[in-house]
Amino acid sequence: MNSVLNRRDRARTAALSAAVLLAGGLLVVPAAAAVEPDDLTRPGESVLVGSDRQTIAPGMELTTFNRLEDGGWNAGSILEVDLDAGVTLDYQYSGEVTKTATVRSLAEASGATAAINGDFYDINNSDAPLGVGVGRDEGLVTAPTAGHENAIAVDAAGAVAMAQVFLEGTAVTGDGVSLPLAGVNTHRLPASGIGVFTSAWGDYTRANAVGTAANRAEVTVVDGVVTAVGTTLGTGPIAANTVILVGRDAGATSLLALQPGDTVDVSYAPRSDLGEIAVAVGGDVLVDDGVQRTFADTEPAARTSIGLSEDGRTMYLVSLDGKQAHSRGMTLTEFAELMYDLGAYDALNIDGGGSSTLVVRDPGTDDRTVVNTPSDGAERSVANGLAFFAAEGSGELDGFRVLAGAAENTDRVFPGLTRTVESRGHDETFAPVEARPRWTTADRRVASVLRGATPETAVVTGIRPGTTDVQADLRGETGAFGITVLGALQRLEPTATLIPLADAADAGSVALTGYDIDGYRAPIETADITVTGGDGVVELVPDGDGFAIDPLVDTGSALVTLEAGGVETSVAVTIGLAEVPVATFDDAASWTVLFARATGAIAPTEGPDGRDGVRLTYDFTGGNTRAAYATPPTQFSMPGQPQNIKAWVKGDGQGTWIRMRVYDPNGTLLTLNGGYTTFTGWQQLTFPVPAGTEYPLRFRDIYAVEASGARNYHGETSFSDISVEIAPPVELPDAGRFADPVIVTNGTADDAGQRIAVMSDSQFVGRNPDSDIVAAARRTLQEIVAEDPDALVINGDLVDEAAPIDFDLARRVLDEELAGVDFPWYYVPGNHEVQGGPIGNFIEEFGATQHTVDLPTDEGTTRIITLNSAFGTLRGGGFAQIAELRSALDEAAADDEITGVLVFAHHPPNDPLPTDNSQLADRREAAMLETWLADFEAESDKSAAFVGAHVGVFDAGSVDGVPFLVNGNSGKAPSSTPDNGGFTGWTLLGLEPSRGDKNDDDGWLRAEVRARVDAITLQAPATLAPGATGAVSATVAQDGVRTVPVQWPVSAQWGGTGVYVGPADKAPRWAVVAVDPAAGTIQGLRAGAATVTVTVNGETASQAVTVG
């Protein structure tokens, strides 16, 4: 255990600094403190990413959390139970020891306020628990098997403790012979033991209780009289007035001495140092008298525990998710540490894995909810559990719980749109009470409220941006729900833009999320949405948070438009799929292979069912990412609008990643993912085509790739028939980009108080120092030096293969081009900084992979945090940098000098292109970044932004008020079309530190995207009549291969003489023409001569215009 000051340490330190309290000569142990966020992490080992706290009933507080550790993610649920609040406990099971039931069904049957699963059990056999089970009404239900005597127990006075509980029982014959009992409803008896089975056992066979013992006996006792003696152990239910004695070995011999008609007095009870036991459930010890146990297990798993504070008055019920993407689970040693950190002086490990279940009553209802995420995917039936009952309430209204559904961000609404809220009346124990409240809002200027369709609901309408409380009130008993009215709705995003349905029996769904100009988002309710289109083909029916899509024909397609608040979006729906072959490999002998950092061969082979195919063999024992590309003799087009591409693949079990590359009609290369060859033999893999893809598609290659440098092997992969799944043709929705205003399209960052240059993705190699890409990188650096910024961030992929020779060249280029500059520069590693070598090559040449630096000005300080995402995740760059990010944000929030934070990493949280290939691979990390930065802004009133790269386009979008920028390529060819940000250049960030802590993101940051300019052309009419309108546009030529429109995200400076830049109706009287670059128009205003100019990255084009 690491030496850290956790909550118990803090409590004890405080206690030792005060007077020691004595009562009757005994130390009075202070009451346990509530679980705090600091109790959920260990410094340097984990960071808390999210937590939530909710009162379930008096004395019951539920905390849910998720945290990131060096080993991965973990998420759990903690129910704190204050035993001084009148909470009582009881054992729960199905009523039959050998019949399992879900924890929720047991809680519903008993009326428990909360419940947790119990002991380990004889799973998939008798299902009987291994440890003790004692209930208040039934007494001892099951006795512990040998070695399973530890339990959480409640004594007759109500005290709860961890104890050892044993069986004390005898069967006394009429002639006074006392036969000791070794089990009660126990699935396995020890050698020479005798066990008793009651009606609680169920109908499962009793034969398994004696194992392989040859000497066995069974005696039936009805109302204290023996009715049958035999050596065959039976099955079936046992009557309520009957007990059955089962013996093995010497115990069997003793039982066979009995005769029908003999009397037998069977008695048993639990025995413990606690005295009389009223309730008990078994488990294994994790923490004992404040000492954590250590264990040899190394396998993380879902876990469950019941813990007790030192004073015995607080219980901690903990369910930890495991073996899931969102939570890896813990080893037993790690779990013991968690229980100790929470405040458990004693803790019992109970059944985990798929059995781990924590159930609570949803406050204000009679519904029971499973609060953890069972690893089986659904709640498992278990042997037993422990139930908790809140003190009985009055049944009189004590308040309202007001909520707005389970979707994210339902506490937000847009002006003019609505949010449905619901009230749940409850008494002082949060038990439900029917009540119809009166509804009001605290600030009627922000939102209004009207009764809803049912007595419990109301409809809130946003009026103007701000926050207010929606209040439910009845005779002075109240409840409130905070709601935020966002800025005006700017755009709508459906859950999917293309919804393929297999046939008329299939069904789909769609829901809308709205965004304001700052990226604050909220779900859109169906009542606010108008649906048009789809007549006779599909019907959209309101269903929960969105619409169910019901097909009306067997085959067809439709474009459906959804409108809310004057903003529209579209969804394409297709019905029916046909699989069409596109490559049969009858030309297998003509296929060729290309290798990246690998060697091997390609040859024809026999595919599945005797069909043709190709076989790749490869040596993947080299450094980092290696690939083998199977390429057809000529590229071929794919028919229609494929939803999926399929290929038969023969795996070798190595887990090689299988991918495919296709071109869209713009020549953009799309990479599709098919899965991993964890299998052997032939399987058909599916490569989904991302929604928003433009058609037709052209096949380039299919390939095997190994991205982990830690995995080295020789392998082989074969490919056969490639086909496409084609849906009926449909007009695809316009995948237009939202032009986030953080990128200035008419303006500059030259005059900003602080300027930071960003370049990335040159990707040159040391073996070719005179290449065009090296020249492009040098040109970018020269442009940046000429701008003389306050700092430069090289945001990854400056080199291509990560060999020492590459970094030698990088050092030479940087030394030569940055010689004599007086600004600092920082090199952030990208994936190509480890593409062909270890990260150590980068570190040896350029030092640390993560930096936290402060750039001061007279108007405030900007903190820069750079992160290493070279391996595709932040955790791949070392957990220490995640802890540093959390610490650096917290310090920045508290430091009055710091007014804003810029975070840099090569991989952005989200890829703006439809393939989603160029983003953080760990989607929870991506969400964490978004949340941390948004929370930083909200809690500190300071500004934050993120800058990524890697995608091959320039882009920007805001998430909950935080700008997320993507810098495009500074050398390597772009990954998309020029009108979609696919051009080369760099970014100049203009900051105003004085505005950073004024809750003014718009004033704090603007980004000028400096496209590389080889030539610039301006198109505008030479003459215009007054009042006439013409078209105006500009383009930039780059690298001899692309023409870039001067529009978002390209930054330009429009102007000239006699020119007003903006809408014509805003033009001053002196203007001859009005140029509106966003609309692409020029309008003559009055007779005269004007000269229109446009400047991009220092290069200017002009056009004379005569109005008359």
pLDDT tens, residue by residue, 537-566: 999 999 999 999 999 999 999 999 999 999
Kindly tell me if the per-residue pLDDT of 887 is higher than 90. Answer: yes
Q: Name 312's bridge partners.
A: none
Model confidence pLDDT, tens digit, residues 330-350: 999 999 999 999 999 999 999
Instruction: Answer whether residue 668 shows pLDDT above 90.
Output: no
Whose tokens are 């028939």? That residue is 721
Helix, strand, coil in percent for the chain, rounding step 5: 15, 45, 40
Phi, psi of 85 (to 5 degrees): -95, 15
CATH classification at residue 663: 2.60.120.260
For 579, other C-beta atoms within 10 Å of its C-beta total 11
Q: How far apart are the C-alpha atoms of 1083 and 153, rounded to whole Å?
A: 85
Tell me what pLDDT residue 33 has. 60
Q: Which amino acid is at 673?
A: N
For 696-712, write each residue's pLDDT tens digit.
999 999 999 998 877 89
Q: How far is Cα 946 from Cα 866, in angstroms, rounded to an integer?
A: 10
Q: How far apart (Å, rounded) are the C-alpha atoms in residues 319 and 75?
A: 9
The Cα 601–Cα 595 span in angstroms is: 9
Examine residue 138 and state whether it is found in any structural domain, yes or no.
no
**Could you list the residue range(s) of the whole structural domain that residue 846 is in?**
754-1011
- The CATH code of the domain that includes 436 is 2.60.40.1080
State the average pLDDT for the chain: 94
Residue 519 and residue 909: Cα distance in Å, rounded? Answer: 15
Position 978 scores a pLDDT of 95
Give the span between the Cα atoms of 571 and 558, in whole angstroms: 8
Predicted local distance difference test score (pLDDT) of residue 628: 96
Distance in angstroms (rounded) separating the CA atoms of residues 560 and 539: 10
Give the model's pLDDT for residue 996. Answer: 92
pLDDT above 90: residue 667: no
Residues 879 and 781 grouped into a single domain: yes
The beta-strand segments (E) located in 978-1028 are 985-991, 1005-1011, 1015-1019, 1023-1024
C-alpha torsion 803→806→812→814, nearest 10: -110
Share of the chain above pLDDT 90, in %: 91
Q: What is the pLDDT of residues 234-282, one digit of tens each?
A: 999 999 999 999 999 999 999 999 999 999 999 999 999 999 999 999 9
| Same-domain pairing of 25 and 77 | yes
Residue 864 falls within a domain, yes or no?
yes
Q: What is the CATH number of the domain that holds 1003?
A: 3.60.21.10
Domain end call among 485, 513, 542:
485
pLDDT over 70 (residue 1042): yes
- Do 822 and 901 share a structural domain? yes
Nearest to 284 by CA among 89, 161, 147: 147
DSSP E strands, 632-753: 636-638, 642-652, 657-663, 669-676, 680-688, 697-706, 713-726
Residues 906 and 1026 in one domain: no
pLDDT digit string, tens, across residues 945-954: 999 999 999 9
* Residue after which a domain boundary falls, among 226, 248, 271: 271
Whether the pLDDT of residue 34 is over 60: the answer is yes
**Which tokens hold the place of 280?**
């008990």
Q: Decide: helix, strand or coil at residue 645.
A: strand
The answer to whether residue 11 scores a pLDDT higher than 50 is no
How far apart (Å, rounded) are the C-alpha atoms in residues 575 and 552? 9
Over 70: is that where the pLDDT of 15 sits? no
Residues 855 and 820: beta-carbon distance below 8 Å? no
Supply the pLDDT for residue 405.
87
Cα separation of 734 and 748, whole Å? 30
| 862 and 981 inside one domain | yes
Does residue 916 register a pLDDT over 90? Answer: no
Q: Could you tell me the maximum CA-CA distance found in the chain, to the nearest angstrom?
A: 130
N- to C-terminal Cα separation, the chain: 85
The answer to whether residue 164 scores a pLDDT higher than 60 is yes
Phi-psi region of 1027 (alpha: psi -120 to 50; beta: other; left: phi over 0): left
Minimum mean pLDDT range among 716-725, 735-744, 840-849, 1021-1030:
735-744
Give mean pLDDT, residues 779-806. 97
Distance CA 612, CA 856 (A): 66
Which residue, 429, 455, 485, sits at the end of a domain?
485
Q: Are residues 827 and 846 in the same domain?
A: yes
pLDDT at 733 (0 to 100)? 85
Is 677 in the same domain as 599?
A: yes
The predicted structure's pLDDT at residue 739: 94
Q: Is residue 157 part of a domain?
A: no
What's the pLDDT score for residue 37?
86
Positive or negative CA dihedral for 518, 521, 525, 526? positive
pLDDT score at 32: 55
Radius of gyration of the chain (CA): 35
3-state secondary structure of 891: helix
Within a domain: 666: yes
Domains in the chain: how many in total? 7
Is residue 957's pLDDT more than 70? yes
Does the pLDDT at position 21 exceed 90? no
- Cα distances from 624 to residues 763, 803, 851, 949, in angstroms, run 16, 11, 25, 21
What whole-number distance in Å separates Cα of residue 152 and Cα of residue 891?
43
Residue 348 to residues 56, 140, 301, 305, 310: CA-CA distances in angstroms? Answer: 23, 20, 16, 5, 14
In a domain, 775, yes or no: yes
**Mean pLDDT, residues 618-640 taken together:** 91
Identify residue 674 by its one-letter amino acid code: G
Mapped onto helix, strand or coil, the DSSP state of residue 1039 is coil
173, 240: one domain: yes
650 shares its domain with 636 = yes
pLDDT at 618 over 90: yes
Q: Are strands 680-688 and 612-620 parallel, antiparallel or unpaired?
A: unpaired
Tell me, yes or no, whether 495 and 636 share the same domain: no
Pairing mode of beta strands 498-501, 567-575: parallel
User: Is residue 357 within 8 Å of 117, Cβ to Cβ?
Assistant: yes
How long a stretch of residues is the chain? 1108
159: in domain: no
Q: Does 364 lie in the same domain as 223? A: no
**Judgement on whether residues 976 and 1029 belong to the same structural domain of the protein:** no
| pTM tops 0.95 | no
Please determine, for residue 452, whether its predicted confidence score (pLDDT) is greater than 70. Answer: yes
pLDDT in tens, 459-479: 999 999 999 999 999 999 999
Q: Is residue 154 part of a domain?
A: no
Q: Report residue 751's pLDDT band, with 50, 70 and 90 as the boundaries.
A: very high
Interatomic CA distance for residues 11 and 34, integer angstroms: 11
Q: Is residue 2 part of a domain?
A: no
Going by the DSSP 8-state scheme, the letter that residue 874 receives in this structure is S
